[in-house]
Structure 1
Amino acid sequence: MSSCCLKGFKWVGVPQGGEAAINGQDCYVTGSNPNVAIIVIHDLYGWTFPNVRLLADHYATEVGATVYVPDFFDGVVLPPAIIDNPSEWDKLDLPNFMARNSKQARGPEMAALAKHLRTQHRRLGAIGFCYGGWAVFQLGSHVAEGVIPLVDCISTAHPTFLEKEEMLNVGVPVQILAPEKDPKFTEELKAFAVAEIPKLGLPFDYQYFPGLEHGFAVRGNRKDEAETRGLERAMRAAVGWFREWLVNV
C-alpha cells in the first residue's frame, strides 16, 4: 500500500442506515428491498468510514436496493481523522495490517457472506473501492465457485491488488471506473482490461476519468469542482450499472 490509498477527504453527511450482524458478519445496512441487494467492499479506511456509508445510502435510494457494507478487517479500522494528518501515516504498520487482511485471509469470508445474501435476495451485485477492487472480481468469478458466480454483476473504482488472472476469470457484467493517475491500477492493467475483458463476451463498461487520481470515487475533494464532477459521475455510473443488471432484468 502507499500514500494514494490514504490520501483524500472526509465528506459531510450523516449515514442513514444501521449496523447488524449478517451471517455472523458485522455490516452497515441501508435500504430495504428484499429482491435486490448490493455489497459494498470498503477501502483501507474500513466499513465505518463515513464516505463509504454515504455511498451505500446513495445506492440504496437511487438503485432501490438493500445495501451492505461488511467489516472485512475483523473490527480494526483506521480512524477517519487520520485522512487529514499525512504526518501520521508513516506511523501505521501497513505491511502487518495488510498481511492480516490478505486475499487468502479475507476472500473466504467475503464468499461466505455473498453465499448467504444469495439466499436472501433475488439479485445481488457488488462494488469495491481500492482494496475492495480485487474482491468483487473474485465474487464475480466463474472459476472459484465452479459454474455460478456469487454475484450477478460487479463494479469497481480504482482497484488495488487486482491481477490479470482475476480479470480473465470473471463471469458477470463488469464495470470499471478508472482515474488517469493510479499507481495501483496501472496503465498496463488498464490496457489489459480494455483489451481482454471484451473477449470474454460479457457486458463491459469502462469509464475513464482524466485528471483524477486513485481514490477519487470514495475520497474525492467535495470542495474541488473537477473532483466533485468526477466522483458524482462515478456515482451516477454505478447507479446506472446496478439498475441495468439488478433491477431491469
Structure 2
Amino acid sequence: MFELNLMFFAVAIPAVIFAGISKGGFGSGVAFASSSILAIILSPGQALALMLPILMIIDLATLKPYWKRWDWPRARLLILGAIPGVILGTVLYRVTNDDVLRLLIGAISIGFVIWHVARAKGWIGGFTRQLPPSAGLFAGLVAGFTSFVSHAGGPPAAVYLLSQRLTKTQFQASTVLVFWVVNIVKFVPYAYLGLFTWHTAWANLLLSPFALLGAWLGVWAHFMLSEQVFFRITYVLLTLTGSKLIWDALA
C-alpha cells in the first residue's frame, strides 16, 4: 500500500492535471503519460487503478462541451474493436508481473515519441486515403489492449481517426466518446482483478478536484492555444518516464 505523503501528491497532482488537459483538449492521445509518471513511484497496478477513476471523472467533465459533435460511425468501430482488446489485456495482466507491465508501459511511451518524431521529420508519410472500416476495428482492438495495460489507447485510435479527415472538433469529440465507453468497460475487469481498494478510492477523492481543473483547462486550451508546446513537453515527459520504467524493468 502506498503512502499519501508529500512525495505522492507532488507527483500525483501534476499528473492528474496533465491528464485532464490532454483529455479535455488534445485528443486524449497523451493522457497516458500520467500513468507512466505515477508508475515511477507506484507499482504499475496501483498506478493504473488510481488513474482509471480519475480518467472517468475527466470523461464526464469533457462530454458536455463535445456532446453529439463526434463522428458516430467511426467512433462505433473503435468501440466495437476495443472490447476484445480489453479482454486480451485482462488475460495478460493475470499471467504477468510488475516488471513486464513496466516494460510495456515504458515501451509504449518511447514508441509513441518515436512515431511522432518520425512523422514530423517526414520519415513516415501522411495518409493519402481513408483507412477502411476493418482498420477501425483493428485500431480499436489495439486501443483496447494498450488502454487496459497502460491507459494508452489514444495513439492507435488517433491513427485511424486522423485518416478519416475529420475536423479538429470531430476528432476530439470522437476520442472523448470512445474512451468514455472504453473506460467504463475497463472498470469491470479492474474491479475483478482486485486493483481497486479503499485506499485508492480515498486518493481518487483527494485528487478529483485537480482532475476537473485539468479538464477545464484542456477544453479552454483546445480553442485558444497551439498544440506544439503542449506536445513538445509531453514528448520530454514520455521519454524520461518511459526510459526510467524500461530501466527498472530490466534491472
Q: Higher helix proportion, which one?
A: 2
1 or 2, which has the higher strand percentage?
1
Report the TM-score, using the length of structure 1 for normalisation: 0.27
* Larger RCO: 1 or 2 (CA < 8 Å, sep 6+): 2
User: Structure 2 length as normaliser, TM-score?
Assistant: 0.27
